[in-house]
Structure 1
């Protein structure tokens, strides 16, 4: 059966290193980082969900569904993924898989979903994750909705918070992406990172 994929943009963190607030709403080249992320995802998935906490009205301009963490306490990316899997199961039962990306990653590959699906099929695993420059990016991954109950048990009953601790149970393929001229999984975690991202965008736009 062909995959039907929904993207989830993980924006539920506390952004301590950025001084608080929403990292995904910080301006980058005149637009919020989230706008860059969504541009990169455009056409790759059937739906997009935003995972964020607090007053959801601040994302109204994007006209996207927004889901707060289904487990309280800012539990990290696994809780965000669980939120997306359970949201899809309830609100979009046609979706078979969720691809997760961080809300502070403005250079997401435009072929991310295709490459993750290919890697998973080739390896015969249930899960896939992205990698670049020899480093895995477990938060950027492909997750079957069918594993929602298993993930809920791991997060709620076992207290698992580390992505690798759960994905290793099910087998995870890796899709390797070129990091030259820029790392597609660069995260804008600090003001210095934002300034670097500005320079990278400028360099990309030059002929």
Structure 2
């Protein structure tokens, strides 16, 4: 069992991680975080929402590091890359973030979800503390009552880095399978639109016509 958390993690104890290191295959192989929404790269929208919720910021990117560095500079964000070859998935980005973070906790969010909630970090931190968990992640419930898990939105203890490295070294890649090795709590959000992500150019076009939840 995880050691007891004396207090709920504060903003200064949380490093934000923007996950932008994927292949973007469902967008035809483009760098998803650099695609434009309302005149700005998707990644910029997510960084702007992470800034008030975290202390330091990191960007996980395996392509166009100079572009991401320039994009992250106004937010004080540092670019990190996977240490494993071949774009092995979001866990590799998480590992890079866990190793680079100088705080006890890491908050991850994908680069294609520009409307993530302003209280994401606070609610996950509260759940991590009250449930004495290692990982807090997101579940949404839509208007019909259907639940969906969003595992790459997560608050994790950075002390999990060595375990994740061993998991990846063993050839494992599934996010939920790694979470199952640890005490994980799911936090339910009722605004499922806040976690809408653009996986295709059509979905990005749909976002362009919708100003979002504010």
Please give the TM-score of this superposition, normalised by the length of structure 1.
0.89
1:145 is aligned to: 158
Within a 5 Å distance, the mapping from 1:1-207 to structure 2 comes to 1-2=6-7, 3=9, 4-59=13-68, 60-63=70-73, 64-88=77-101, 92=102, 95-133=103-141, 134-156=147-169, 158-179=170-191, 183-201=193-211, 204=213
Mapped to 1, the partners of 2:213 and 2:19 lie a distance apart of 25
SS in structure 2 of the partner of residue 170 of structure 1 = coil
Q: Structure 1: where are the runs of 5+ without partners?
A: none
Instruction: Report the Cα offset of residue 122 of structure 1.
Output: 2.4
Aligned residue for 1:43, secondary structure, equals helix
Structure 2 gap segments, 5+ residues each: 1-5, 142-146
* Equivalent position SS for 1:189: coil
Q: Sort the Cα spacing of 1:61 and 1:166 in 2 relative to 1 into closer, same or farther, 3 A.
A: closer
SS in 2 for 1:39: helix
What is the distance in 1 between the residues matched to 2:60 and 2:85? 13
Aligned-partner SS, 1:115? helix
Q: SS at 1:36's partner residue?
A: helix
Aligned residue pairs, count: 196
Between 41-50 and 16-25, the greater mean CA deviation after superposition: 16-25
Q: Hey, what's the Cα distance between the residues in 2 that align with 1:16 and 1:9?
A: 18
Show CA shifts across 1:130-179 (max 9, x none). 111211111111111111111100111x2111111111111210111122
What secondary structure sits across from 2:209 in the alignment?
helix
| TM-score of the two chains, using structure 2 as the length reference | 0.87
Q: Tell me by how many angstroms 1:124 deviates.
A: 2.2
CA distance in 1, matches of 2:127, 2:63: 35
State the secondary structure of the residue aligned to 1:14: coil
